[in-house]
Structure 1
């Protein structure tokens, strides 16, 4: 008996040490913190007719003042509106976002005069109704660097502005951070809910009903407090005000069962606990008043939190004084419970201090505090469990033979269920692999890349069975990956290539796509040879699973093919087959970034057909189209191997020439000009008059210090060529 109690105390101390280690574990993402460079301006900006805030367009309209932390600027007075702004630093992100822990209370974000994010609804007077205290993730464009991000904030609360972190990060990193920060809270919420269920069950048994009902009530309140504070709950259901109300009323409910539990525990030691009664009753009255006031819209969370926090501090002070007077008289088990209670209260006080800006911001692990108190409750339940086990031990003597017989029966059933569970686990693993493959495919821009990804992942989907993955080529199938035992590939001809069908028995699974006209195109083929049952999972079930997986992948491949086709049309000039102006704009940004990073030269050539309008008026627009095609063919002939030829529009063409200086481009440009001058235009069997072109050339850093001025300088050089008589070439001036 004494040894069991000793082991129980050792277990409690170990759990306490583990929980304290959890309190000290903090992981932060390596992101760009925006701690400096903030400015503020009291009041609200007027808007122009297009809904653009004038303060974002003209700095002279308001006196912007620097502020170290964008919250509660000085001289607030009666102001309920304030603007904050910051110039975003030069950093490159793939999917950039601005993240902050919270904002008091409502906010709108503007970038380049455009509204890109809002929390809550502000009316024409800049006011609104409280919408909760969630975290915020503002999605930024890729070219955000160097731009000024403005925040329009409204608050009738005691605080106004930002709270917690403010940083730039990748969207996926923010979501990972939210998930990591929420993991412990989710675990604690699950544990406390489980404890509540167990306490409710124990309360139904004889003895200690009141104590276990208090345990159940506290566990439910702790679970609600933790759930309301878990960041990931916004991802589950984007209703921040609802989660705030859940957390708030769980927070308001928490002291009631805590005071009642302490009264129960200390009364067992023969101590006077009548002064605890009015403490929990006072909090119960507050909870009822808050609930009724919220239902009728008289009270809001922004008013309730300060009142409750003040009440809780007074109650906690009185409680500490009362407990310290009797601490030496209670048993060790009760001392551990009291220490756990005060540990949780300390965490709540720290969270309260951060919320009211009494101390600098840091992440307070409220869920870990709840875990500490939950460990104490688990210990109480474990002690009750030990006493129950002692009573059950006497009954086991008479029921031993029946238990052995029943155990044998259950063992046989367990083996069958284990075999079935292994099969279900095998199926679940394969389904997760299929989901991963489809997820990877959704990021593919071309069908070729998608087939390559399937080839890299298909073996894992099919093992432990042997298989072959083949890719469709014009004259049949080409093996690209095989595993396991050798499998003979069927000798499909072109006819069979268009008629391949799913065949579960032979293990043939074609990958095909169908366009909107109903035409089927086969892109790959999977052959699987299954020889035996695996862990209770029948072969026929596995084949059906593969068929469904390939059908889902086929849908994704069809979407990729459609996107690829649409992208080709959006970047291609219909007349000449060259890339169009849209493609040029995107590729130019890329080439400028590469040139700056590698410090390599970048040249640009723009050419224009001389007197093209006269040519069209003389021979007609179809003949003009033939002239454009002829020039396009000559451009592709002279410029290739990394050079990019695009049609800007009309008779104007551009060539992007990476890693080549302007002087080196001049010789090839002269060859092009001479070739155009000597080439006769053919149209409907007739030879038309020759055309000539004028060419402008510029290069970075040889002729311009800013690569973003290349196009403008090259265009100016072309204009000089036109002005100097046409049919000539001009280099941009330095």
Structure 2
């Protein structure tokens, strides 16, 4: 690479003494020369009539299956300083003789005058000082579709050759660098962004076209001299172009065009795998894979172009730009292929321009599409965030509602037994820590079974709802009221003494007993309540026992005639176990040990 850089800098400062001289007068002869006794080809000394004139040393007329060709010409006169013979390419291998001596060979000939493909490098053949006006012979062997010398053949100063190589390569190398940079950027978008298939197709095309330009640039031989390596790279990258083109077009087009394009790029991918595989195992010559591929491409490339153009009126603006750039690139590619096979006389084809135009057009389209996609995603994300916030608020509301339902009695709207257990534990701990008063009232609707039996369960439910409403109103701001189960209610009154609790209870009982209830315009009679009161620390040093003590006091109120409030006393406890220990035990355990599913 350092030598290449030095040549680029210095070659323009050197001047040749004679301008390049093309070799235009050629004669040819089909077949291979027999050897003389000394092993030199006999045709070097023959001026037989078999030699015929031709305008070009590439593919003379009358090949008819011949694989051996001899060419001869006379080298021009000139005032040369460091003369060389420059040949663009030899199909396929050859030897050059001057003054009956072998001065250059490309490839190796066997005893039958045959040989294997050695690549398509350009050739710079050193010429002796006394070459002017002397005949030069070329022995050629080729099983390829072409035979002879391809491209330019001229005598030049060495420095002119190097200048031409650099000049002819500069554009391709610069464009290949740009295209490969696009390939790297497209690869990054493929790995980390949306539109992965589209950017992946761009990356594949950019890598293939960029590497192909490098492999075809004449300066490649100044970087590495292995001609077969460069031609293998050129074949692989060249053969991948229709795969990338098919992927790109099928990404944008729809319907039957998309299906046909998918079949085309899969066909070419299969060819790449089979052809390169056979070359690597030595079954097929690399050179013979080119004409087969070109024949296939001559069919599929116009087909891809036709499929794209038929859809042109229905395409969006960016899709039309893609098709136009593809048309430009495909036209140059087809022209280059026709020149390579001699259907058009040799001329340089600016395929690199088509590659650059198509790559930039694709990159611009996808970057614009990517920007639009990002804007859409941003708007979508904003909408989703609003929806998520709304759904979250709705979910929180539902959670609160479900939480409320789990702690609420569905009939009366009061807190249920589960909520009471939580609040009761909390208030007991606080009363102990603060050494404050805590009272518990347990209330029961008197003769509630008779109401259900006489007026029905719906009437009984209405009584419970009405009693719950009066309890809520009566103890509002004083304590927590819960439905304990069935017709039983509890009221937990923090910072309230036993006497204060009894006053609240008596006032409630008096209000309830003096306001008769009506259900569907039918009087339900006089409804009364019985109440048991227990308080901390008046009745116990352990507030957790208040529930049992209040239940004992309620039991005493029931057995004392109902419709009354009884404050717990030690005598009540003793009296209960004396009068009816079994009944008390069963009733208390029934109320205190309800299953969670019946805490209503």
**TM-score range with shorter-chain normalisation?**
0.5 to 0.7
Show the 5 A alignment for 1:199-348.
Answer: 199-267=186-254, 273-348=258-333
Change in Cα spacing, 1:389 to 1:320, as seen in structure 2 (3 Å) is closer
Show the 5 A alignment for 1:175-574.
Answer: 175-267=162-254, 273-383=258-368, 386-387=371-372
Secondary structure, counterpart of 2:89 in structure 1: strand
Secondary structure, counterpart of 2:253 in structure 1: helix
Q: Is the 8 A contact 1:184 1:368 kept in 2?
A: no
Q: Is the 8 A contact 1:31 1:167 kept in 2?
A: no
User: How much is the aligned-residue C-alpha RMSD, in angstroms?
Assistant: 2.4
d(CA) in 1 for partners of 2:160, 2:377? 52
Q: Is the 8 A contact 2:257 2:308 kept in 1?
A: no
Are residues 1:40 and 2:28 paired? Answer: yes
For residues 344-397 of structure 1, the C-alpha deviation after alignment (integer angstroms, 9 at most, x for no partner) is: 111110111011111111011222221111221231354257558979999xxx
d(CA) in 1 for partners of 2:325, 2:94? 39
Show the 5 A alignment for 1:580-599.
Answer: none
Are residues 1:90 and 2:53 paired? Answer: no
d(CA) in 2 for partners of 1:87, 1:330? 59
Change in Cα spacing, 1:388 to 1:95, as seen in structure 2 (3 Å) is farther
Q: Is the 8 A contact 1:109 1:151 kept in 2?
A: yes
Q: Which residue of 2 aligns with 1:526?
A: none
Q: Which residue of 1 aligns with 2:105?
A: 118
Secondary structure, counterpart of 1:59 in structure 2: coil
Q: Which moved more, 1:109-118 or 1:384-393?
A: 384-393
Q: Which residue of 1 aligns with 2:578?
A: none
d(CA) in 1 for partners of 2:294, 2:350? 18
Change in Cα spacing, 1:393 to 1:95, as seen in structure 2 (3 Å) is farther
Q: CA deviation at 1:261?
A: 0.8
For residues 702-734 of structure 1, the C-alpha deviation after alignment (integer angstroms, 9 at most, x for no partner) is: xxxxxxxxxxxxxxxxxxxxxxxxxxxxxxxxx
Q: CA deviation at 1:48?
A: 3.7
d(CA) in 2 for partners of 1:184, 1:164? 19
Change in Cα spacing, 1:343 to 1:349, as seen in structure 2 (3 Å) is same
Q: CA deviation at 1:321?
A: 2.6
For residues 576-613 of structure 1, the C-alpha deviation after alignment (integer angstroms, 9 at most, x for no partner) is: xxxxxxxxxxxxxxxxxxxxxxxxxxxxxxxxxxxxxx
Change in Cα spacing, 1:214 to 1:35, as seen in structure 2 (3 Å) is same
For residues 657-677 of structure 1, the C-alpha deviation after alignment (integer angstroms, 9 at most, x for no partner) is: xxxxxxxxxxxxxxxxxxxxx
Q: Which residue of 2 aligns with 1:147?
A: 134
Q: CA deviation at 1:290?
A: 0.6
Q: CA deviation at 1:76?
A: 2.1
* Higher relative contact order, chain-length normalized (CA < 8 Å, sep 6+): 2
d(CA) in 1 for partners of 2:189, 2:346? 41
Q: CA deviation at 1:87?
A: 0.8
Consecutive unaligned residues of structure 1, counting only runs of 5 or more, are: 1-28, 395-734
Q: CA deviation at 1:53?
A: 2.7
d(CA) in 2 for partners of 1:111, 1:207? 63
Q: CA deviation at 1:33?
A: 4.0
Q: CA deviation at 1:341?
A: 1.0
d(CA) in 2 for partners of 1:49, 1:262? 63
Q: Which residue of 1 aligns with 2:576?
A: none
Q: Is the 8 A contact 1:35 1:69 kept in 2?
A: no
d(CA) in 2 for partners of 1:385, 1:287? 31
Secondary structure, counterpart of 1:130 in structure 2: coil
Q: Is the 8 A contact 2:202 2:248 kept in 1?
A: yes
Are residues 1:73 and 2:60 paired? Answer: yes
For residues 6-41 of structure 1, the C-alpha deviation after alignment (integer angstroms, 9 at most, x for no partner) is: xxxxxxxxxxxxxxxxxxxxxxx9944434321112
Change in Cα spacing, 1:348 to 1:141, as seen in structure 2 (3 Å) is same
Q: CA deviation at 1:324?
A: 2.2
Q: What is the TM-score of this pair, normalised by structure 1?
A: 0.47
Secondary structure, counterpart of 2:132 in structure 1: coil
Q: Is the 8 A contact 2:145 2:291 kept in 1?
A: no
Q: Which residue of 1 aligns with 2:43?
A: 55
Q: What is the TM-score of this pair, normalised by structure 2?
A: 0.57
Aligned residues: 363
Q: Which residue of 1 aligns with 2:440?
A: none
d(CA) in 1 for partners of 2:327, 2:117? 33
Secondary structure, counterpart of 1:66 in structure 2: strand
Q: Is the 8 A contact 2:194 2:370 kept in 1?
A: no
Show the 5 A alignment for 1:666-677.
Answer: none
Q: CA deviation at 1:301?
A: 2.5
Q: Is the 8 A contact 1:35 1:68 kept in 2?
A: no
Q: CA deviation at 1:154?
A: 0.6
d(CA) in 2 for partners of 1:233, 1:248? 15
Q: Is the 8 A contact 1:93 1:170 kept in 2?
A: yes
d(CA) in 2 for partners of 1:390, 1:142? 71
Change in Cα spacing, 1:32 to 1:315, as seen in structure 2 (3 Å) is same
Q: Is the 8 A contact 1:43 1:80 kept in 2?
A: yes
